[in-house]
Copies of this chain bind each other. A is one copy, B any other.
Amino acid sequence: MTSRRSFMSGSAALAALPFISTRVTRALAAASRRKLGFALCGLGSLSTRQIAPALQKTANCRLAGIITGTPAKAARWKAQYGIPDKNIYHYENMHRMADNPDIDAVYVVTPNAIHLDNALAAAEAGKHVYCEKPMEISVARCRQMIDAVKAAGRVLGVGYRLHFEPHNLECVRIARSRDFGALKLIDAHFGFSIQPGVWRLNRALAGGGPLMDVGIYCVQATRYLTGEEPVSVSASLTRGDDNRFAEVEESIMWQTKFPGGALAHCSSSYSAAPAGYFRALAERGGFAMDPAFTYDGIRGTRSDGRPIDYPNIDQFAAEMDDFADCIANGMPTRVPGEEGLRDVQIMMAIYEAARSGKSVDL
Protein backbone atom coordinates (compact mmCIF):
# COMPACT_ATOMS: atom_id res chain seq x y z
CA MET A 1 0.00 0.00 0.00
CA THR A 2 1.28 3.46 -0.90
CA SER A 3 1.96 5.65 2.08
CA ARG A 4 -1.18 7.69 2.56
CA ARG A 5 0.76 10.18 4.54
CA SER A 6 3.13 11.13 1.72
CA PHE A 7 0.22 11.29 -0.67
CA MET A 8 -2.38 13.17 1.27
CA SER A 9 -0.37 15.66 3.29
CA GLY A 10 0.40 17.65 0.16
CA SER A 11 -0.64 21.06 1.43
CA ALA A 12 2.48 22.57 -0.08
CA ALA A 13 1.35 21.43 -3.52
CA LEU A 14 -2.12 22.91 -2.97
CA ALA A 15 -0.69 26.19 -1.77
CA ALA A 16 1.28 26.43 -5.00
CA LEU A 17 -1.92 26.84 -7.00
CA PRO A 18 -2.16 30.63 -7.22
CA PHE A 19 -5.91 30.88 -7.85
CA ILE A 20 -6.91 29.25 -4.56
CA SER A 21 -7.26 31.67 -1.68
CA THR A 22 -5.23 31.09 1.47
CA ARG A 23 -8.37 30.26 3.42
CA VAL A 24 -9.53 27.68 0.95
CA THR A 25 -6.01 26.33 0.74
CA ARG A 26 -5.96 25.79 4.49
CA ALA A 27 -9.37 24.16 4.52
CA LEU A 28 -8.38 21.83 1.75
CA ALA A 29 -5.11 21.08 3.46
CA ALA A 30 -6.90 20.17 6.66
CA ALA A 31 -9.43 18.06 4.83
CA SER A 32 -6.79 16.24 2.88
CA ARG A 33 -4.47 15.74 5.83
CA ARG A 34 -4.06 12.11 6.57
CA LYS A 35 -6.21 11.01 9.47
CA LEU A 36 -4.36 9.68 12.49
CA GLY A 37 -4.66 5.89 12.40
CA PHE A 38 -5.44 4.53 15.85
CA ALA A 39 -5.05 0.93 16.91
CA LEU A 40 -7.18 0.16 19.95
CA CYS A 41 -5.28 -1.99 22.41
CA GLY A 42 -7.77 -3.84 24.65
CA LEU A 43 -11.31 -4.35 23.42
CA GLY A 44 -13.27 -4.21 26.66
CA SER A 45 -16.37 -2.23 27.42
CA LEU A 46 -14.76 1.20 27.12
CA SER A 47 -13.31 0.47 23.67
CA THR A 48 -16.49 -1.21 22.50
CA ARG A 49 -19.06 1.24 23.78
CA GLN A 50 -17.21 4.53 23.74
CA ILE A 51 -13.92 4.74 21.91
CA ALA A 52 -14.68 2.84 18.71
CA PRO A 53 -17.98 4.67 18.17
CA ALA A 54 -16.22 7.94 18.99
CA LEU A 55 -13.56 7.25 16.38
CA GLN A 56 -16.32 7.25 13.75
CA LYS A 57 -17.18 10.80 14.81
CA THR A 58 -13.66 12.21 14.75
CA ALA A 59 -12.49 14.63 12.07
CA ASN A 60 -8.83 13.71 12.13
CA CYS A 61 -8.67 10.11 13.33
CA ARG A 62 -9.70 6.70 12.16
CA LEU A 63 -9.89 3.22 13.60
CA ALA A 64 -6.98 1.60 11.78
CA GLY A 65 -6.32 -1.51 13.82
CA ILE A 66 -6.89 -3.53 16.96
CA ILE A 67 -4.82 -5.41 19.48
CA THR A 68 -6.68 -8.10 21.38
CA GLY A 69 -5.97 -11.40 23.06
CA THR A 70 -9.44 -12.73 22.20
CA PRO A 71 -9.88 -14.17 18.67
CA ALA A 72 -13.68 -13.90 18.88
CA LYS A 73 -13.38 -10.16 19.53
CA ALA A 74 -10.98 -9.81 16.61
CA ALA A 75 -13.50 -11.46 14.30
CA ARG A 76 -16.35 -9.33 15.57
CA TRP A 77 -14.45 -6.05 15.23
CA LYS A 78 -13.11 -7.02 11.82
CA ALA A 79 -16.65 -7.56 10.61
CA GLN A 80 -18.09 -4.48 12.25
CA TYR A 81 -15.40 -1.98 11.31
CA GLY A 82 -13.88 -3.53 8.18
CA ILE A 83 -10.45 -3.84 9.75
CA PRO A 84 -8.05 -5.68 7.44
CA ASP A 85 -6.40 -8.81 8.84
CA LYS A 86 -2.97 -7.22 8.58
CA ASN A 87 -4.04 -4.55 11.07
CA ILE A 88 -5.21 -7.03 13.70
CA TYR A 89 -2.66 -7.85 16.38
CA HIS A 90 -2.42 -9.74 19.60
CA TYR A 91 -0.31 -8.70 22.60
CA GLU A 92 2.58 -10.94 21.62
CA ASN A 93 3.04 -9.62 18.09
CA MET A 94 2.37 -5.91 18.67
CA HIS A 95 6.02 -5.18 17.81
CA ARG A 96 5.21 -6.01 14.18
CA MET A 97 3.22 -2.78 13.99
CA ALA A 98 6.60 -1.18 13.29
CA ASP A 99 6.15 -2.26 9.70
CA ASN A 100 2.54 -1.09 9.41
CA PRO A 101 2.16 2.50 8.23
CA ASP A 102 -1.64 2.39 8.66
CA ILE A 103 -1.16 2.61 12.40
CA ASP A 104 0.15 5.88 13.77
CA ALA A 105 -0.92 5.62 17.39
CA VAL A 106 -1.94 2.98 19.91
CA TYR A 107 -4.77 3.80 22.32
CA VAL A 108 -4.08 1.66 25.41
CA VAL A 109 -7.36 0.59 27.02
CA THR A 110 -6.21 -2.49 28.95
CA PRO A 111 -6.28 -3.00 32.72
CA ASN A 112 -4.20 -0.40 34.55
CA ALA A 113 -1.19 -2.60 35.36
CA ILE A 114 -0.75 -3.61 31.70
CA HIS A 115 -0.63 -0.08 30.34
CA LEU A 116 3.15 0.10 30.61
CA ASP A 117 3.81 -3.13 28.71
CA ASN A 118 1.43 -2.07 25.93
CA ALA A 119 2.88 1.41 25.77
CA LEU A 120 6.45 0.10 25.65
CA ALA A 121 5.55 -2.23 22.79
CA ALA A 122 3.80 0.60 20.93
CA ALA A 123 6.68 3.02 21.43
CA GLU A 124 9.22 0.44 20.36
CA ALA A 125 7.17 -0.03 17.20
CA GLY A 126 7.46 3.71 16.64
CA LYS A 127 3.84 4.56 17.43
CA HIS A 128 2.41 7.43 19.41
CA VAL A 129 0.73 6.32 22.64
CA TYR A 130 -2.59 7.44 24.05
CA CYS A 131 -3.13 5.79 27.42
CA GLU A 132 -6.33 5.50 29.43
CA LYS A 133 -6.36 6.74 33.00
CA PRO A 134 -5.02 5.91 35.50
CA MET A 135 -1.79 5.95 33.57
CA GLU A 136 -0.31 3.07 35.55
CA ILE A 137 -0.27 1.59 39.05
CA SER A 138 2.96 3.15 40.32
CA VAL A 139 4.98 6.28 39.89
CA ALA A 140 7.96 4.27 38.63
CA ARG A 141 5.89 2.64 35.91
CA CYS A 142 4.52 6.01 34.79
CA ARG A 143 8.06 7.35 34.54
CA GLN A 144 9.12 4.33 32.50
CA MET A 145 6.30 4.99 30.08
CA ILE A 146 7.17 8.66 29.72
CA ASP A 147 10.83 7.86 29.14
CA ALA A 148 10.14 5.12 26.60
CA VAL A 149 7.77 7.18 24.45
CA LYS A 150 10.14 10.13 24.63
CA ALA A 151 13.11 7.94 23.63
CA ALA A 152 11.09 6.74 20.65
CA GLY A 153 10.48 10.34 19.61
CA ARG A 154 6.73 9.87 19.79
CA VAL A 155 3.91 11.67 21.61
CA LEU A 156 2.29 10.36 24.81
CA GLY A 157 -1.17 11.44 25.90
CA VAL A 158 -3.40 10.32 28.77
CA GLY A 159 -7.16 9.86 28.31
CA TYR A 160 -8.37 12.72 30.45
CA ARG A 161 -11.47 13.34 28.37
CA LEU A 162 -12.79 16.08 30.64
CA HIS A 163 -9.97 18.39 29.56
CA PHE A 164 -12.01 18.66 26.37
CA GLU A 165 -15.49 18.82 27.93
CA PRO A 166 -17.21 22.23 27.67
CA HIS A 167 -18.90 22.29 31.11
CA ASN A 168 -15.70 21.34 32.89
CA LEU A 169 -13.73 23.83 30.81
CA GLU A 170 -16.21 26.56 31.71
CA CYS A 171 -15.76 25.70 35.40
CA VAL A 172 -12.01 26.03 34.97
CA ARG A 173 -12.57 29.39 33.31
CA ILE A 174 -14.84 30.59 36.12
CA ALA A 175 -12.40 29.44 38.78
CA ARG A 176 -9.35 30.96 37.12
CA SER A 177 -11.13 34.20 36.19
CA ARG A 178 -11.78 34.84 39.87
CA ASP A 179 -15.20 36.17 38.91
CA PHE A 180 -16.29 34.99 42.36
CA GLY A 181 -12.98 35.81 44.05
CA ALA A 182 -10.35 33.33 45.17
CA LEU A 183 -11.31 29.67 45.31
CA LYS A 184 -11.66 28.52 48.92
CA LEU A 185 -13.22 25.05 49.01
CA ILE A 186 -13.89 22.17 46.67
CA ASP A 187 -15.72 19.01 47.43
CA ALA A 188 -15.96 16.20 44.94
CA HIS A 189 -17.16 12.64 44.76
CA PHE A 190 -17.27 9.92 42.13
CA GLY A 191 -18.36 6.36 42.72
CA PHE A 192 -20.71 3.54 41.87
CA SER A 193 -21.61 0.10 43.12
CA ILE A 194 -19.33 -2.37 41.37
CA GLN A 195 -20.26 -5.80 40.07
CA PRO A 196 -18.23 -8.67 41.51
CA GLY A 197 -15.69 -10.51 39.38
CA VAL A 198 -14.31 -7.64 37.32
CA TRP A 199 -10.59 -6.90 36.91
CA ARG A 200 -11.05 -3.58 38.69
CA LEU A 201 -11.34 -5.56 41.95
CA ASN A 202 -8.04 -7.35 41.32
CA ARG A 203 -5.24 -5.44 43.00
CA ALA A 204 -2.52 -6.76 40.70
CA LEU A 205 -4.37 -5.50 37.63
CA ALA A 206 -6.02 -2.35 39.01
CA GLY A 207 -3.39 -1.16 41.51
CA GLY A 208 -6.16 -0.03 43.86
CA GLY A 209 -9.90 0.39 44.11
CA PRO A 210 -12.32 3.22 43.38
CA LEU A 211 -9.63 5.87 43.91
CA MET A 212 -7.61 4.58 40.94
CA ASP A 213 -10.67 4.06 38.79
CA VAL A 214 -12.99 7.01 39.39
CA GLY A 215 -11.62 8.92 42.39
CA ILE A 216 -8.94 10.05 39.94
CA TYR A 217 -11.58 12.32 38.39
CA CYS A 218 -11.90 14.13 41.72
CA VAL A 219 -8.11 14.43 42.00
CA GLN A 220 -8.15 15.89 38.51
CA ALA A 221 -11.03 18.27 39.24
CA THR A 222 -9.32 19.71 42.29
CA ARG A 223 -6.17 20.25 40.21
CA TYR A 224 -7.75 21.76 37.12
CA LEU A 225 -10.09 24.00 39.09
CA THR A 226 -7.34 25.41 41.29
CA GLY A 227 -4.71 25.31 38.56
CA GLU A 228 -2.35 24.24 41.34
CA GLU A 229 -0.70 21.14 42.74
CA PRO A 230 -1.77 19.93 46.20
CA VAL A 231 0.82 20.31 48.94
CA SER A 232 -0.46 17.72 51.42
CA VAL A 233 -3.08 15.03 51.77
CA SER A 234 -4.74 13.02 54.51
CA ALA A 235 -7.08 10.11 53.89
CA SER A 236 -9.17 7.28 55.29
CA LEU A 237 -10.62 4.20 53.67
CA THR A 238 -12.96 1.31 54.41
CA ARG A 239 -12.88 -2.27 53.26
CA GLY A 240 -16.09 -3.57 54.82
CA ASP A 241 -16.69 -7.30 54.96
CA ASP A 242 -18.00 -7.57 51.42
CA ASN A 243 -16.27 -10.24 49.28
CA ARG A 244 -15.86 -7.73 46.48
CA PHE A 245 -13.34 -5.82 48.54
CA ALA A 246 -10.89 -8.54 49.45
CA GLU A 247 -8.12 -6.82 47.50
CA VAL A 248 -9.03 -3.16 47.06
CA GLU A 249 -10.68 -0.50 49.18
CA GLU A 250 -14.47 -0.25 49.28
CA SER A 251 -14.61 3.52 49.81
CA ILE A 252 -12.01 6.17 50.35
CA MET A 253 -12.02 9.83 51.29
CA TRP A 254 -9.17 12.27 51.22
CA GLN A 255 -8.49 15.93 51.74
CA THR A 256 -5.86 18.08 50.09
CA LYS A 257 -4.49 21.57 50.68
CA PHE A 258 -3.49 23.80 47.81
CA PRO A 259 -0.77 26.46 47.97
CA GLY A 260 -3.20 29.29 47.13
CA GLY A 261 -5.22 28.49 50.26
CA ALA A 262 -7.95 26.33 48.78
CA LEU A 263 -9.00 23.17 50.60
CA ALA A 264 -10.48 20.14 48.87
CA HIS A 265 -12.22 17.12 50.29
CA CYS A 266 -13.19 14.21 48.10
CA SER A 267 -14.46 10.68 48.20
CA SER A 268 -14.88 7.69 45.97
CA SER A 269 -16.68 4.42 46.43
CA TYR A 270 -17.33 1.02 44.87
CA SER A 271 -20.30 0.33 47.17
CA ALA A 272 -22.46 3.45 47.05
CA ALA A 273 -25.11 4.33 44.50
CA PRO A 274 -23.72 5.96 41.36
CA ALA A 275 -22.91 9.64 41.79
CA GLY A 276 -20.26 12.00 40.51
CA TYR A 277 -20.20 15.67 41.29
CA PHE A 278 -18.11 18.55 42.48
CA ARG A 279 -18.81 21.88 44.09
CA ALA A 280 -16.46 24.82 44.33
CA LEU A 281 -16.87 27.78 46.67
CA ALA A 282 -14.99 31.01 46.22
CA GLU A 283 -15.13 34.20 48.23
CA ARG A 284 -18.26 35.64 46.67
CA GLY A 285 -19.91 32.71 44.97
CA GLY A 286 -19.29 29.36 43.43
CA PHE A 287 -20.50 26.67 41.14
CA ALA A 288 -21.49 23.05 41.18
CA MET A 289 -21.60 20.29 38.60
CA ASP A 290 -23.83 17.27 38.98
CA PRO A 291 -23.27 15.05 37.17
CA ALA A 292 -19.77 16.29 36.55
CA PHE A 293 -17.87 13.33 35.13
CA THR A 294 -20.25 11.35 32.92
CA TYR A 295 -19.97 10.72 29.18
CA ASP A 296 -23.00 12.90 28.64
CA GLY A 297 -25.69 14.75 30.58
CA ILE A 298 -23.16 16.91 32.40
CA ARG A 299 -24.83 19.94 33.98
CA GLY A 300 -23.79 22.73 36.21
CA THR A 301 -25.10 25.74 38.06
CA ARG A 302 -23.54 28.93 39.32
CA SER A 303 -24.37 30.56 42.63
CA ASP A 304 -25.77 33.55 40.73
CA GLY A 305 -28.41 31.24 39.30
CA ARG A 306 -26.98 31.05 35.80
CA PRO A 307 -26.77 27.55 34.42
CA ILE A 308 -23.55 26.07 33.09
CA ASP A 309 -25.16 24.64 30.02
CA TYR A 310 -23.47 23.53 26.82
CA PRO A 311 -24.24 20.95 24.20
CA ASN A 312 -22.88 17.58 25.19
CA ILE A 313 -20.07 16.50 22.94
CA ASP A 314 -18.43 13.15 22.35
CA GLN A 315 -15.55 13.59 24.75
CA PHE A 316 -13.57 10.68 23.33
CA ALA A 317 -13.84 12.05 19.81
CA ALA A 318 -12.69 15.44 21.08
CA GLU A 319 -9.68 14.07 22.95
CA MET A 320 -8.56 11.96 19.99
CA ASP A 321 -8.99 14.78 17.49
CA ASP A 322 -6.96 17.04 19.75
CA PHE A 323 -4.24 14.40 20.03
CA ALA A 324 -4.18 14.14 16.24
CA ASP A 325 -3.98 17.94 15.91
CA CYS A 326 -1.14 18.15 18.39
CA ILE A 327 0.83 15.53 16.50
CA ALA A 328 0.08 17.09 13.12
CA ASN A 329 1.08 20.56 14.27
CA GLY A 330 3.91 19.64 16.59
CA MET A 331 2.07 21.17 19.53
CA PRO A 332 2.21 19.79 23.05
CA THR A 333 -0.90 17.95 24.23
CA ARG A 334 -2.71 19.34 27.25
CA VAL A 335 -2.83 15.79 28.68
CA PRO A 336 0.81 14.64 28.56
CA GLY A 337 2.28 11.69 30.44
CA GLU A 338 3.44 14.08 33.16
CA GLU A 339 -0.22 14.82 33.90
CA GLY A 340 -0.94 11.13 34.37
CA LEU A 341 2.19 10.69 36.47
CA ARG A 342 1.15 13.55 38.75
CA ASP A 343 -2.20 11.96 39.53
CA VAL A 344 -0.58 8.60 40.27
CA GLN A 345 1.86 10.36 42.62
CA ILE A 346 -1.05 11.98 44.42
CA MET A 347 -3.06 8.76 44.60
CA MET A 348 -0.10 6.88 46.02
CA ALA A 349 0.19 9.63 48.64
CA ILE A 350 -3.53 9.25 49.39
CA TYR A 351 -3.07 5.52 49.98
CA GLU A 352 -0.02 6.19 52.12
CA ALA A 353 -1.96 8.75 54.17
CA ALA A 354 -4.82 6.28 54.68
CA ARG A 355 -2.38 3.55 55.70
CA SER A 356 -0.38 5.69 58.12
CA GLY A 357 -3.17 7.87 59.51
CA LYS A 358 -0.86 10.83 58.92
CA SER A 359 -0.86 13.79 56.62
CA VAL A 360 1.52 13.21 53.71
CA ASP A 361 3.38 16.10 52.08
CA LEU A 362 3.49 16.16 48.32
Contacts and interface: CB of A to CB of B under 8 A. Distances in A.
Interface residues of A, number: 44
A320 to B, nearest CB: 33
B357 A234 contact: yes
Contacts of A193: 283-284
Given A187-B187, A286-B273, A236 B232 contact: yes
How many copies, total?
2
Given A185-B272, A358-B357, A236 B234 contact: yes
A269 interface: yes
A255 B236 CA distance: 8
B265 A253 contact: yes
Interface string A70-93: 000000000000000000000000
Interface in A251-293: 251-255, 257, 261, 263-267, 269, 271-273, 275, 277, 279, 281-286
11 contacts: A187-B265, A189-B279, A234-B234, A234-B357, A236-B263, A237-B263, A253-B264, A271-B283, A273-B282, A357-B359, A358-B359
Interface of A: 180, 184-185, 187, 189, 191, 193, 232, 234-238, 240, 250-255, 257, 261, 263-267, 269, 271-273, 275, 277, 279, 281-286, 303, 357-359
